[in-house]
């Protein structure tokens, strides 16, 4: 079948999941690959999780729907529950090891309530930062599936700004895909956010640094685990 | 000079592609009412509107959008409309008038789950509605697309066909195609040698009525049974006459196939992929895709099915394509099995498993 | 505008006598419309669209290009035309069922948008098309096919006040009025303003005319007249509800 | 016939009745009978209620049989059922014609009121209004229902008992009908002018040999089969 990679990126609405999917797909396209991106579909759409499906290939891509992903990035427990059917025996799962407990929307919550509106940055903080580990032991039975903990939220908050957490995740994903060049990622970033960068030059560096940090975080995990790049 | 310079490879959503295709074909107006998953067609059309002098009106409902589309077409405008699901249901009223009065307008249908409100996501459950909705005979041209390239090509072709043959024409997409992004080649149809619609006022042609010419009086009401049948038989003859010029299908070839997988729309992508996998596994599979669902490519389907020992129909609906296929294969001995997933996408893996299972059974 | 030398009469004699019943108000409204089109000299730009109902009997009434549509859907059809051909003078002709019941959303929305179209509605208090059933405009106590014991306000509400409601939805640019087939001179003045507001001011116009249906009312000529002038007029006041300040009509 | 008006006085008979009571068949037969006896007869279709199943559909057949038929022509009934059933000046002025007049009026009370539209009807000395009753129809199935219906029609001069069950008409149906309608006639004081029965049934049940309490009108049926305009 030739070279082909399938991705699932999943998290809470407001975390910038779809931007990761869009830039990932566009970067693959700019790298000379066929590429297909589709936002949430199927039952995954319900319940507030935001999911992006991306496929890249040397050949034209068939169905937008697939069973098992090569790489998954899951940024909340709920998103993981919604997408675990795509975790196959060989799937690499990146997860936010600094993950926050899914915020509870109740009648005390002020502001917009509804589909894909929860957990914007700042909001999560307002409801407290309770840690929860994501794909713990119960997800392990999938024999060879590799889990990569990436503390994206913590790094974003402590080193950059919470808003760029998703770009750290993007950096982590593309660090595992040789055929997507760094140059094309930056081009796709520019195409997506160029207008915003024009308003505030500092944002460009912030996003670029986040992508780079994502790569580094993956390298760290892999080297700790004794796996070479 | 067209709005697209030369040939451009772009990475876009399907809804964007529809708007660009309509623009490239020279469409001047669109009428619409918000319904997911076709909304972005209206969004892009309205964004493109000022630069290209395009008309748009968000109407009070789909009935109004459909009838305004008819009014604009009668007045000689290259016009289209887009809808989905429950909107498509309402749209059948104006579409039936377009059918009766031979109004050359184009509808883009981005199918969503049904019946009722169901899901806003994806489905192939509007296949029968789009082909045969309304209180008539389904005198429509329906192209079912499976990729962004199809969306671009067939929106242009549907606009041409509607005016060439004076039947309402449809581009049947779905929520996946609407929302997903993939590469597409945009081109200027004229320089690419593609047929462009030839548009003229139907209701208000040149000249002053009763001075230069007779007034044009259009109607869809008739007095007696025989009068209606005369009118309809004229339409039906025209429809049958044009069919050979309109029908299209695609095959995924395989020498001496023993199994034929039939699918339309986005499911064709999975079917084609499944056929390749099956062949790798030593199963002699072939694929058939009707591109036009109205008129249906009957001859090519029969020719393909005659050669095989098993036909498998795959669709994201419960037998809407299957019944069309069975109807066309009547009299052939080939058994027909189906993988039916109403309102849900189908993966290549599922098709492979089903074909293997069905092959064991027959 | 039509070429000066090419002005024809809007009245199409080939299709006369028309198909309306003796004493029907439609023929009076349409005669007035033909006169006004001639007087304004807009024959060359006029397009006539009619609804389902007895109004559809007007489909070939005029020497104008015309289209007969579906029940209640005439307004969106002319809106579509006007959007792509602003040079046309489009006229939507419908009854009270098409305008106030099945197509009310189109009437109100078009008024809100100030679509530059002219909508003419005949109010005869019932569905003449299908054999005299209750319409939104049926008077309290009036017997119809579906109110055989008379319309009751408790059960089916009160007569629909079309121009009053449309005037409330429309802006200052709209012309909205109610006339009567029993007052022909005023009827023509109203029609003239309704067309001028479109062709001169690109404004929306809606005019209702109290109309007669002796066939379904089962009335003799004198009673027909009395029903319009007394019974109907008592419920539906004849007046102009909206007149744009700069809408000028010379005699 | 109930009364002989002789050759000098003209006949003006109007037939009213419930929906699908058989008004039209009775009207046609009455007109044909009159034309056999007395010459020129005009049959007026004043059924403004039912758009299709009326005299209009058999107009050519009746004209061949020598009747003058005043009904809408097909080209006058544009959009039939959508545009309503219109009347013409010719129809409303029917009383100005010479010869006998038979009027087939629409169904129900509202239909019967259409007679009011005919010019000069209130001053016509020869007008006789017949109510056609089929006691096998639910709204006129008992003497009391028939009586109340007849009163609602006011004025009504005679009853035509047209009780039948189509092809299933038996002697019992006819005799039952006679009992029911006779009772209604006693309640209202409105005489029964005739018992009308399809000719085939008359023959099958040998009704001509029986005393039915009123003259027997043997009906030749014209409205069977699909309607024609």
Cis amide linkage into residue B235, ω under 30° from 0: no
Residue A34 near chain B (CB below 8 Å): yes
Q: Would residue C14 count as lying in a domain? A: yes
- pLDDT at A139 > cutoff 60: no
Token readout for C35 is: 């006169």
Taking one residue from B and the other from D, the number of pairs with CB-CB distance under 8 angstroms is: 16
Its sign, for the CA torsion A109, A114, A115, A121, is: negative
* H or E element in which residue C167 lies: helix C162-169
C248: in domain: no
| Chain B with chain C: Cβ pairs closer than 8 A | 144
**Higher-confidence position of A225 and C66:** C66
The answer to whether the Cα torsion of D47, D48, D54, D57 is positive or negative is positive
> Which residue's structure tokens are 């036009």?
B292
Nearest-CA residue of chain B relative to C2? B208
Specify if A105 maps to a domain: no
Structural domains counted in chain A: 1
Q: Is there a domain that residue A43 lies in?
A: yes
Paired tokens of D100: 């006998």
In this predicted model, what pLDDT tens digit does every residue of D80-116 receive, in sequence order?
555 556 788 888 899 999 899 999 987 776 777 888 8
pLDDT for the residue D78: 61
Q: What is the CATH number of the domain that holds A46?
A: 3.40.920.10
Q: How far apart, in whole angstroms, are the C-alpha atoms of residue D76 and residue B12? A: 57
Decide if C67 and B72 are in contact by the 8 Å CB cutoff: no
DSSP for B298-332 reads HHHHHHHHHT-SEEEEEESSSSHHHHHHHHHTTT-
Question: How far apart are the C-alpha atoms of D117 and C10, rounded to whole Å?
Answer: 31
**Which residue matches tokens 């304004």?**
C40
**A neighbour chains, 3+ CB pairs within 8 Å:** B
- Residue C251 domain-assigned (yes or no): no
Tally C-beta pairs within 8 A across A and B: 70
Sheet holding A87-96, edge to edge: A146-150, A87-96, A69-74, A4-12, A49-57, A34-39, B181-187, B7-13
CA end-to-end span of chain D: 31
Give chain B's domains with CATH numbers: 7-187 (3.40.50.970), 250-361 (3.40.50.920)
Range of the domain at C89: 4-242
Tell me which residue of B77, B236, B239 sits closest to B159, measured CA to CA: B77
What value, to the nearest 5°, has the Cα angle with vertex B165 and ends B320 and B196?
105
The reply to whether C24 touches chain D by the CB within 8 Å rule is yes
| Cβ-Cβ contacts under 8 Å, C65 against chain B | 203-205, 209, 215-217
- Nearest of A14, C75, A156, A15 to residue B66 by alpha carbon: C75
Rounded distance, CA D70 to CA D61, Å?
A: 13
- Select, from the ranges A70-84, A124-138, B111-125, the one with the highest average predicted confidence (pLDDT): B111-125
| Range with the poorest average pLDDT among A120-124, B343-347, C77-81 | A120-124
3-state secondary structure of C8: coil
Do the chains A and D touch each other, judged by at least 3 C-beta pairs below 8 angstroms?
A: no
So what's the pLDDT on residue A205?
94
Q: Contact C77/B70, CB-based, under 8 Å?
A: yes
Asked if residue A165 has pLDDT above 90, the reply is yes
Q: Determine which of C1, C5, C73, C76 to mutate to test the interface with B (most B C-beta atoms within 10 Å).
A: C76
> Is the CB of residue A67 less than 8 Å away from at least one CB of chain B?
yes
User: What residues contact B18, with CB distance under 8 A and at least 6 apart?
Assistant: B41, B82, B108, B151, B155, B171, B173
Q: Is residue C92 part of a domain?
A: yes
CATH number of the domain bearing residue C195: 3.40.50.970
Cβ distance A62 to B182 less than 8 Å, yes or no, reads no
Q: Under a CB-based contact definition with an 8 Å cutoff, are residues B63 and C76 in contact?
A: yes
Range among B148-152, B176-180, B207-211 rated most confident: B148-152
Does A38 contact B176 at a Cβ distance shorter than 8 Å? yes
If we measure between CA atoms, which residue out of B43, B106, B46 comes closest to residue B73?
B106
pLDDT at C208: 98
Count of structural domains within chain C? 1
Please tell me which chains touch B, using 3 or more CB pairs under 8 Å as the contact test.
A, C, D
Which run of H or of E encompasses B172?
strand B169-174
The answer to whether position A208 is within a domain reads yes
CB B197 within 8 A of CB B164: yes
CA-nearest residue to D73 within chain C is: C19
> CA C93, CA B68: separation in Å to the nearest integer?
16
Is residue A106 a part of any domain in this protein?
Answer: no
Residues 181-220 of C with CB under 8 A from D: 214-216, 218-220
Q: In sequence order, which residues have a C-beta less than 8 Å from that of residue B186 and are 6 or more positions away?
A: B4, B7, B8, B9, B10, B17, B20, B24, B152
Task: Give residue A1's pLDDT band: very low, low, confident or very high (50, 70, 90).
Answer: low
Contacts of C52 in chain B (CB under 8 A): 221
Cβ of residue B223 closer than 8 Å to a chain D Cβ: yes
| Closest to B133 measured CA to CA, from B111, B152, B159 | B111
The CA distances from residue B110 to B84, B127, C200, in Å, are: 5, 11, 41
Distance CA C120, CA C208 (A): 6
D90 CB near a chain C CB, below 8 Å? no
Going by C-alpha positions, the residue among C166, C239, C163, C205 that lies closest to residue C36 is C205
> CA–CA separation, D183 vs C8, rounded Å?
67
Residue D224 CA neighbour count, 13 Å, CB half: 6
CA distance D40 to chain B (A): 30
Select the residue of C43, C84, C109 nearest B28 (Cβ to Cβ): C84
The reply to whether residue A35 touches residue B175, judged by beta carbons under 8 angstroms, is no
Nearest CA in chain B to C79: B68
Report the Cα A200 to chain-centroid distance in Å.
Answer: 24
Interchain proximity B75–C109, CB inside 8 Å: no
pLDDT 10s digits, B230-282: 999 999 999 999 999 999 999 997 778 999 999 999 999 999 999 999 999 99
- Quote the CA–CA distance of C217 and C224 in Å, as a whole number: 8
Q: How far apart are CA B30 and CA B355, in angstroms?
A: 43
D173 CA to chain C: closest CA distance, Å? 31
In a domain, C42, yes or no: yes
Question: What digits encode the pLDDT tens for the residues B101-157?
Answer: 999 999 999 999 999 999 888 999 999 999 999 999 999 999 999 999 999 999 999
CB nearest C218 (choices: D76, D86, D117)? D117
pTM value surpassing 0.95: no
Chain B, nearest residue to D57 by Cα: B224
Tokens of C8: 């024809």
Residue C3 structure tokens: 């070429």
H-state helical runs in chain B? 14-24, 39-52, 62-74, 85-101, 127-132, 148-165, 175-179, 225-246, 267-280, 298-306, 320-328, 348-361
Would you say the C-alpha torsion C61, C63, C64, C68 has a positive or negative sign? positive
- DSSP assigned state of C231: I
Cβ of B223 within 8 Å of Cβ of D229? The answer is yes
C54 interfaces chain D, CB cutoff of 8 Å: yes
Along the 229 residues of chain D, how does pLDDT read in single tens digits? 334 444 457 899 999 988 888 899 999 999 999 998 878 999 999 887 776 777 887 888 999 999 999 987 766 666 555 555 678 888 889 999 989 999 998 777 677 788 888 999 888 899 999 999 999 999 999 999 999 999 988 789 999 999 999 889 999 999 999 999 999 999 999 999 999 999 999 999 999 999 999 999 999 999 875 444 3
Q: Is the dihedral of CA C165, C170, C171, C176 positive or negative?
A: negative
Backbone angles phi, psi at A102, to 5 degrees: -55, 125
Can you point out the beta strands (E) in chain C?
Answer: 46-50, 65-68, 89-95, 118-123, 126-127, 133-134, 175-180, 205-210, 240-242
CB B221 within 8 A of CB C56: yes
Question: Are D48 and C131 an interchain contact pair (Cβ–Cβ within 8 Å)?
Answer: yes
Q: Which of B8, B9, B11 is the mutation pick for testing A, counting most A CBs within 10 A?
A: B11
3-state secondary structure of C168: helix
Inter-chain CB proximity D79 and B221 less than 8 Å: yes
The pLDDT value recorded for residue D71 is 86
3-state secondary structure of D29: helix
Which chains lie within 8 Å of chain C at 3 or more CB pairs, if any? B, D
Interaxial angle between packed helices C104-113 and C162-169, expressed in degrees from 0 to 180 and rounded to the nearest 10: 40
In CATH terms, the superfamily for domain D12-219 is P-loop containing nucleotide triphosphate hydrolases (3.40.50.300)
Chains C and A touch (3+ CB pairs under 8 A): no
Q: Residue D221 and residue A17: Cα distance in Å, rounded?
A: 78
Q: Is residue C233 part of a domain?
A: yes
Interstrand relation of D41-46 and C205-210 (parallel, antiparallel or unpaired):
unpaired
To the nearest whole Å, the CA of B295 is away from the closest chain A CA by: 26
For residue B54, which of B14, B104, B19 has the smallest C-alpha distance? B19
Q: Does B223 contact D82 at a Cβ distance shorter than 8 Å?
A: no
Low-confidence ranges of chain C (pLDDT < 70): 1-8, 249-251
Assigned domain for C35 exists:
yes
Testing the interface with B: which of D80, D84, D85 to mutate, by most B Cβ within 10 A?
D80
A92: pLDDT strictly greater than 70 = yes
pLDDT of residue B1: 52
CB contact (8 A) between residue B215 and residue C79: no
Average pLDDT score over residue span B158-162: 98
Asked if A37 lies within 8 A of B344 by C-beta distance, the reply is no
Which residues constitute the domain of residue A57? 4-100+116-224
Residue among D82, D89, D109 whose CB faces C52 most closely: D82
Show which of residues 40-59 on chain D sit within 8 Å of chain C, judged by CB atoms.
48-49, 51
The CA distance from A134 to D199, in Å, is 90
Nearest-CA distance from B100 to chain D in Å? 15
Helices (H), A115-164: 123-126, 152-159
pLDDT of residue A81: 84
> Is residue A39 very low, low, confident or very high in pLDDT (cuts 50, 70, 90)?
confident
Instruction: Give the minimum alpha-carbon distance from D50 to chain C in angstroms, rounded to a whole number.
Output: 8
């Amino acid at each position: 079948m030739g070279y082909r990679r399938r991705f699932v990126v999943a998290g809470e609405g407001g975390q910038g999941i779809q931007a990761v999917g869009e830039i990932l797909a566009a970067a693959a396209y700019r790298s000379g690959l066929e590429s297909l991106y589709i936002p949430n579909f199927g039952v995954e759409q319900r319940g507030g999780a935001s999911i992006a499906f991306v496929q890249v290939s040397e050949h034209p891509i068939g169905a937008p729907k697939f069973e098992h992903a090569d790489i998954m990035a899951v940024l909340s427990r709920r998103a993981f529950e919604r997408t675990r059917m795509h975790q196959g025996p060989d799937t690499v799962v990146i997860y936010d090891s600094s993950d926050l407990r899914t915020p509870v929307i109740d009648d005390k919550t002020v502001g917009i309530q509804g589909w894909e509106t929860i957990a914007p940055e700042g909001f999560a903080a307002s409801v407290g930062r309770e840690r929860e580990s994501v794909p713990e032991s119960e997800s392990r039975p999938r024999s060879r599936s590799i889990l990569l903990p990436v503390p994206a939220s913590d790094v974003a908050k402590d080193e950059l700004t919470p808003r760029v957490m998703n770009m750290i995740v993007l950096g982590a994903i593309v660090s595992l895909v040789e055929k997507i060049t760094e140059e094309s990622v930056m081009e796709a970033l520019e195409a997506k956010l160029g207008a915003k960068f024009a308003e505030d030059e500092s944002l460009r560096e912030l996003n670029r640094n986040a992508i780079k940090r994502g790569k580094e975080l993956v390298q760290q995990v892999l080297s700790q685990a004794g796996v070479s790049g | 000079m067209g709005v697209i310079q030369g040939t451009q490879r772009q990475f876009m959503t399907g809804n964007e592609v529809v708007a660009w295709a309509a623009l490239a074909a020279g469409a001047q107006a669109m009428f619409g009412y918000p319904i997911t998953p076709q909304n972005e067609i209206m969004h892009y059309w309205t964004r493109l509107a000022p630069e290209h002098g395009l008309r748009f009106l968000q109407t009070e409902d789909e009935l109004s959008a459909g009838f305004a589309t008819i009014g604009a077409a009668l007045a000689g405008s290259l016009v289209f409309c887009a809808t989905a699901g429950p909107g498509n249901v309402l749209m059948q009223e104006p579409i039936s008038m377009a059918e009766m009065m031979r109004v050359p307008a184009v509808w883009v249908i981005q199918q969503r789950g049904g019946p009722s409100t169901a899901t806003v996501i994806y489905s192939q459950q509007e296949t029968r509605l789009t082909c045969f909705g309304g209180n008539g005979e389904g005198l429509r041209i329906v192209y079912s697309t499976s990729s962004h390239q199809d969306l671009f090509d067939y929106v242009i072709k549907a606009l041409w066909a509607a005016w060439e043959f004076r039947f309402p024409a449809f581009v049947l997409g779905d929520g996946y195609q609407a929302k997903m992004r993939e590469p597409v080649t945009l081109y200027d149809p004229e320089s690419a040698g593609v047929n462009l619609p030839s548009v003229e006022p139907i209701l208000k042609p040149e000249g002053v009525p009763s001075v230069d010419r007779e007034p044009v009086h259009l109607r869809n009401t008739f007095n007696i049974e025989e009068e209606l049948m005369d009118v309809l038989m004229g339409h039906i003859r025209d429809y049958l006459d044009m069919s050979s010029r309109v029908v299209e299908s695609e095959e995924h070839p395989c020498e001496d196939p023993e199994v034929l997988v039939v699918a339309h729309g986005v499911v064709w992508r999975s079917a084609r992929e499944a056929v390749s996998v099956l062949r790798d596994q030593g199963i002699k599979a072939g694929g058939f895709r009707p591109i036009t669902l109205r008129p249906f490519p009957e001859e090519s389907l029969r020719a393909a099915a005659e050669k095989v020992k098993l036909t498998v129909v795959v669709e994201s609906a419960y037998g809407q394509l299957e019944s069309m296929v069975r109807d066309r294969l009547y009299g052939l001995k080939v058994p027909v099995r189906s993988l039916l997933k109403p309102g849900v996408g189908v993966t290549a893996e599922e098709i492979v498993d089903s074909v293997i299972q069905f092959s064991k059974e027959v | 505008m039509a070429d000066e030398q090419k002005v024809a009469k809007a009245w199409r004699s080939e299709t006369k006598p028309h198909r309306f019943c003796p004493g029907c108000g439609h023929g009076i409204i349409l005669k007035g419309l033909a006169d006004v089109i001639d007087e304004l000299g807009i024959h060359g730009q006029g397009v006539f669209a009619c609804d389902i109902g007895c109004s559809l009997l007007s489909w070939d009434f005029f020497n104008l290009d015309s289209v007969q549509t579906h029940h209640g859907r005439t307004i969106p059809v002319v809106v579509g035309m006007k959007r792509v051909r602003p040079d046309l003078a489009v006229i939507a002709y419908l009854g009270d069922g098409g305008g106030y019941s099945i197509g009310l959303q189109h009437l109100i929305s078009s008024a809100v948008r100030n679509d530059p179209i002219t909508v003419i509605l005949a109010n005869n208090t019932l569905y003449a098309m299908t054999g005299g059933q209750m319409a939104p405009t049926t008077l309290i106590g009036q017997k119809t096919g579906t109110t055989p014991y008379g319309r009751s306000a408790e059960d089916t509400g009160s007569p629909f006040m079309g121009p009053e409601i449309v005037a409330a939805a429309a802006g200052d640019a709209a012309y909205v009025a109610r006339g009567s087939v029993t007052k022909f001179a005023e009827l023509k003045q109203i029609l003239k303003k309704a067309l001028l507001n479109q062709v001169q001011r690109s404004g929306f116009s809606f005019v209702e005319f109290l109309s007669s249906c002796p066939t379904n009312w089962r009335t003799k000529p004198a009673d027909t007249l009395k029903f319009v002038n007394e019974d109907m007029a008592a419920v539906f006041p004849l007046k102009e509800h909206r007149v744009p300040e700069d809408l000028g009509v010379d005699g | 016939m109930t009364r002989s008006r002789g050759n000098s006085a003209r006949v003006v008979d109007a037939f009213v009745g419930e929906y699908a009571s058989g008004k039209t068949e009775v009207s046609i037969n009455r007109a044909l009978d009159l034309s056999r006896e007395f010459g020129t007869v005009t049959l007026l279709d004043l059924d403004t209620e039912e758009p299709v199943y009326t005299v209009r559909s058999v107009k050519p057949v009746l004209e061949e049989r020598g009747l003058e038929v005043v009904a809408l022509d097909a080209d006058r009934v544009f959009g039939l059922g959508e545009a309503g059933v219109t009347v013409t000046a010719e129809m409303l002025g029917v009383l100005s014609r010479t010869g006998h007049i038979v009027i087939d009026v629409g169904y129900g009370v509202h239909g019967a009121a259409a007679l009011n539209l005919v010019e000069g009807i209130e001053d016509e000395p020869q007008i006789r209004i017949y109510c056609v009753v089929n006691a096998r129809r639910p709204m006129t199935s008992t003497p009391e229902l028939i009586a109340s219906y007849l009163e609602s029609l006011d004025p009504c001069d005679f009853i035509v008992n047209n009780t039948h069950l189509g092809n299933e008409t038996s002697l019992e149906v006819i005799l039952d009908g006679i009992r029911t309608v006779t009772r209604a006639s006693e309640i209202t004081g409105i005489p029964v002018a005739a018992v009308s029965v399809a000719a085939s049934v008359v023959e099958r049940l040998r009704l001509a040999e029986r005393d039915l309490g009123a003259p027997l009108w043997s009906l030749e049926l014209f409205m069977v089969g699909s309607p024609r305009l």
